[in-house]
Amino acid sequence: MSGIALYATDVIALARKDLRLELRARDTLPAMLLFVLSTLAVFHFALPAGTDRDAAYGLLWIAIIFTALLGLARAWAPEREGGALDGLVLAPCDRSAIWLGKSLATLAFLGAAELVAVPAFALFFAPVDLVAVAGVALASIGICAVGSLLAAMAAASRGREVILPLLFLPLAIPLVVGGVGAGISPNGATYLSFLGLYDLVFAILAWATFEYVVTE
Amino acid sequence: MTTAPGHAIVGESVEKRYGRKRALRGVSFTLPRQGFLLVTGPNGSGKTTLLRLLVGLAVPTKGNLSVEGERSALGYVGHEPLLYRELTAFENLDLFGRLYRVPERRERSGMLLERFGLWEVRADRVSTFSRGMTQRLALCRALLHDPALVVLDEPFTALDEDGSALLDRELAAMSGERTVVLSTHDPGRVASLATHRLVLA
Amino acid sequence: MSSRNNLPLLAFLTAGLLGLGVVLAFVVAPEDADQGISQKIFYFHVPIALTAYACFGLGAWKALRLLWVGGERRDLESYTWIHQGTIFGALTLITGSIWARASWGVWWSWGSNQLVLFLVLVLFYCAYFMLRFSVDEGARRERICAVYALFGVALIPVSFFAIRLASDFIHPTVFTRSGPQMTHTMFTAFLVCWAALTLLAYVMYRVELVGKRTDAHLRELREALT
């Protein structure tokens, strides 16, 4: 098997492992779904009457970011419980494959939450067009690529749950700009390109540096 | 992992510090291929640290440590089982077998599970296992890819009677065939197999 | 060590340049027609911002070297550069805020791209310190901090673009620093201040690094004796 094919099978095996674990435990995904819906409901009461559509759209993004944080906080939990991360690091596979597998699985969970959140938002607040949805998709890639790596850093720290939002939020700001812009701005395509740029830059950076986060 | 000429492991004044804490004082030793190194010492003397250095989970802060072979030729049993608790025994071995590119991994997993008395529970989640059973599965995982070097960190502590007997048998089979490094509180158990000793202070 | 010998000299030079810069900025350079005396802050605000960027860049460079080549030395250097960068970043926010207040009567403006960018960066690098202090010392911490420093330097241009785009729908107010034409004296004053502040950052870096290295040496000595 060629190098790339082997890499791909490693990544798929790792992502499938995470999906299987979630299907069994069923703790993270339902929590994310419920959280995103509850947050949207809270926003309804937090917004004054007659708030324009654009402002409401920004709140969708807050909901997405914090739902993502909820999922990311638990992203490496299975590896922590049995010490399996050491087991993965010892294996001959590329360490970046560990990151990629985890990012893909996290993306699947976040995507599932968004499949609920975006229609719910359209129902409760304001309609959402295709460009906005594309923005959600592109930003989610960035969220998971960066978030998985930061979550691995946070797992090594003593203040686990607390530190992840601190690390993640500044890096999430450009994503929120891109996502909101894609939704409400007339030249949404510019924002989509920007999101693509973010994804490219940070995914490559995360891919290249993950090795150093999990090894000594 | 750098290769050492003729020897499986060569350590020169190997030291490991975590910031202010010194986990392992300068230690020097060599181990030829197929040698059996017994590492003993009181708690806190750095046995676990040394073994982690050997497999590459940590890097020495001072000194040189050369271990022959790549990651695919190393088997490690640590204090933690290095397993996924919510996957079944078989699923764990299947995943690691895939990552280690083990040929015929299904058959090999089955064979190891049987050898360590876990065939009956192969479809049960690791979270349902007793500590002894988990340790036995950890041993399966470590041996799955037929490693040339096996590093075991106090493997007997988590095992029950039956498990210990199984491990005795396995170690006897390994000695002379593979290079083994084993740390323990109870040196008497494997003293007869050891070709080399290292006492940490 | 010869490098330590030139530190007092550099410190004197810094003080001298800073003094010269202040004189040039406040006394010699002409007052701006539109903004008046408040424009003087420009001579410090912009160099401070540029110095902050440089510190973050150097911190990331040292981090990259750490990952490539290794060595505890580079970890301390990277950390110290980022520390200076954060200090200068905070100063950028403060001077920028003063300028905003003096110019338009508000302490903060989301329309100021530079200011918002620095807010994001200072938040990011404050998290760097939280990360550093919450991970146990050792090679792992060095690497994690180094990777984070690299993310920071990638964030600078990306955030810059984001904020530029965001001004589209956040705040259409326009923020002009100063007219595109600077008189000769203005430019000289600017350069002197810039040189002074860069040198100040370097001197602060050296001083802090000496302190950290001494700590490390002391620790090694203590270890050797026990």
* Higher local confidence (pLDDT), B22 or B85: B85
Establish if C84 belongs to a structural domain. Answer: yes
Distance from CA of B3 to the nearest CA of C (A): 20
**Which residues from B are below 8 Å from C139, CB to CB?**
58-59, 61
Instruction: For residue C224, tell me if it sits in a domain.
Output: no
Instruction: Provide the chain B residues 129-168 that lie in CB contact (below 8 A) with chain A.
Output: 141
H/E stretch holding B66 reads strand B62-67
Q: Collapse the DSSP code of B83 into the 3-class scheme (helix H, G, I; strand E, B; otherwise coil) and give the result.
A: coil
Give the list of residues 6+ apart from residue C166 with CB closer than 8 angstroms, or none.
Answer: A177, A181
> In whole angstroms, how large is the CA radius of gyration of chain A?
18
Residue C74, in any domain of the structure: yes
Contacts of A7 by beta carbon, 8 Å cutoff, 6+ apart: A93, A94, A97
Using one digit for the tens of pLDDT, what is the confidence trace for A85-96? 999 999 999 999
Per-residue model confidence (pLDDT) at position C169: 61
Q: Is the pLDDT of residue B3 over 80?
A: no
Q: How far is B130 from chain A (nearest CA, A)?
A: 13
ipTM over 0.95: no
Average pLDDT over residues B107-111: 96
Range of the domain at C151: 39-213
Torsion on CA atoms A58, A60, A66, A71, rounded to nearest 10: -150
On whether residue C28 sits in a domain, the answer given is: no
How long, in residues, is chain B? 201
What pLDDT score does C174 carry?
Answer: 41
3-state DSSP percent of chain C in helix, strand and coil, to 5: 80, 0, 20
Question: Is B70 in contact with A92 (CB distance < 8 Å)?
Answer: yes
The dihedrals phi and psi of B25, each to the nearest 5 degrees, come to -80, 165
HSE, side-chain direction, 13 A CA sphere, residue B123: 0
Mutation for C interface: A177, A198, A200, most C CBs within 10 A: A177
Structural domains counted in chain C: 1
Instruction: Tell me, letter by letter, the H, E, C secondary structure of B158-188.
Output: CCCHHHHHHHHHHHHHHECCEEEEEECCCHH
Q: What is the pLDDT of residues B45-56, one digit of tens each?
A: 899 999 999 999
- The pLDDT value given to residue A27: 86
Low-confidence ranges of chain C (pLDDT < 50): 1, 171-176, 178-180
Residue C65 lies in a domain: yes
HEC-encoded secondary structure of C160-205: HHHHHHHCCCCCCCCCCCCCCCCCHHHHHHHHHHHHHHHHHHHHHH
pLDDT of residue C175: 42
Within 86-125 of A, beta carbons closer than 8 Å to B belong to 86-93
Residue A95 has a pLDDT of 96
- pLDDT for position C87: 97
Give the pLDDT confidence score for residue C217 in this predicted structure: 87
| pLDDT value, residue B65 | 93
How far from B180 is each of A105, B176, C195, CA to CA, in Å? 37, 9, 62
Residue of chain A whose Cα is closest to the Cα of C140: A216
Question: Closest approach of chain A CAs to the CA of C80, in angstroms?
Answer: 19
Taking the Cβ of residue B18 and every Cβ of chain C, the question of whether any pair is shorter than 8 Å is answered with yes
Q: What does the block give as tokens for A66?
A: 């914090």
Measured between alpha carbons, how far is residue A51 from residues A54, A55, A160, C172 in Å? 8, 7, 37, 20
Judge whether C6 lies within some domain.
Answer: no
| pLDDT for res A185 | 86
Considering only alpha carbons, which residue of chain C is nearest residue A155?
C135
Q: Which residues of chain A have pLDDT under 70?
A: 1, 160
**Contact yes or no for C138 and B17 at CB 8 A:** yes
On whether residue C4 sits in a domain, the answer given is no
Give yes or no for A158 touching B (CB within 8 A): no
- A95: which chain C residues are within 8 Å (Cβ-Cβ)? none
* Chains contacting chain A through 3 or more C-beta pairs under 8 A: B, C
What confidence tens digit (pLDDT) does each residue in C105-159 have? 888 877 778 888 999 999 999 999 999 999 998 899 999 999 999 999 999 999 9
Name the DSSP class of B16: E
Using CA atoms, how far apart are residues C148 and A150, in angstroms rounded to an integer? 9
Q: Does C168 touch chain B (CB under 8 A)?
A: no
pLDDT of residue B165: 92
Residue B59 has its nearest CB partner, among A20, A93, A216, at A216
Domain presence at residue C24: no
Looking at residue B149, its pLDDT comes to 96
Contact C201, C88 (CB under 8 A): yes
